[in-house]
Structure 1
Amino acid sequence: MSKSMQLTLRPGERIYINGAVLRVDRKVTLELLNDATFLLEGHVMQVEDTTTPLRQLYFVVQAILIDPRNAEGARHLFHRQWAVLSQTFKNQTVLDGLDTLAQQVIAGRTFEALRTLRGLFPIEDAILNSGSTRAA
């Protein structure tokens, strides 16, 4: 038997559960009683925020999670983008993160993959802000 999970949402907040988008009109606590794929609104990246290569990859991984009907196409796009980024970055921490990310996506641990990518954003930002291709 799986453990239940409680999520508290603020008025107007959205949650994405198994491909469905839910919005609450008041503060509520949801208890998920079985395994479900979900993403809180605070972790959803909007298309206008996909301003860097890793953020674009995040958007693709997010699509795998949010839109199960089109997940297969998003997985193909993920693998193409991942391959390019793995050849582009020189920073070992980013490369290690990309390897971990690929393992997570292949294993179906999409939520963990998003967390891994969010952890790489500060490094990518530092690389891009340094203007140095050596750091990439």
Structure 2
Amino acid sequence: MTLRISLRDGEKVVINGAVIRASGRTDLAIESKVTILRGREIMTPADATTPARALYFHTMMAYLDPDGIAGHHSAILATIPAVATLSACESGRQAIAKFATRAASADYYRALGECRTLMRLEEQALATVEEQAA
């Protein structure tokens, strides 16, 4: 099955660990199994500033860097307890459970989706705390 991706001028994509930047509008047809992340899905280490964002970063690295999987697993396991504080709400518990299931089965790309849910919940919780403090 062919995966078709359209990139805008300057947009980045990571394919099997290689960072590719589009020069002009670019359409790609990928015809083999690859690890791929589009620019908006890529996080730098400097952006991993909260527990949920750190979980996303370590999961992204597990997806992109299978040779370093042991270290990435350790980082994921070390980060989960801090993220578990989001389990006070039902949607947080569900996202953590889905994340754990996907990560345990090495489905890191879909685990990233659960991380995005956790990041949204974390942002909402932090905003609530800031409102209460004001």
Kindly report structure 1 stretches of 4+ aligned residues shifted beyond 4 Å. Answer: none
5+ long unaligned stretches in structure 2 = none
What is aligned with 2:7?
Answer: 9
Using the size of structure 2 for normalisation, the TM-score is: 0.85
When the two structures are aligned, how many residues end up with a matched partner? 129
- Judge conservation of contact 2:51–2:82 (CA < 8 Å) in 1: no
- The percent of aligned pairs where both chains have the same amino acid is 26
Comparing 51-60 with 11-20, which one deviates more in the overlay?
A: 11-20
The CA deviation at 1:48 is: 2.8
The CA deviation at 1:84 is: 4.2
- After TM superposition, the structure 1 = structure 2 runs for residues 43-82 of structure 1, keeping only pairs within 5 Å, are 43-82=41-80
- After TM superposition, the structure 1 = structure 2 runs for residues 88-127 of structure 1, keeping only pairs within 5 Å, are 88-89=85-86, 90-127=88-125
Q: Deviations over 1:42-93 (max 9, x none)?
A: 111122322221011111111112223222211121022114433x332232
- Judge conservation of contact 1:15–1:22 (CA < 8 Å) in 2: yes
> SS of the residue aligned with 2:37?
strand
What letter is aligned with 2:77? H
5+ long unaligned stretches in structure 1 = none
User: 2: CA distance between counterparts of 1:85 and 1:60?
Assistant: 13
- Judge conservation of contact 1:19–1:65 (CA < 8 Å) in 2: no
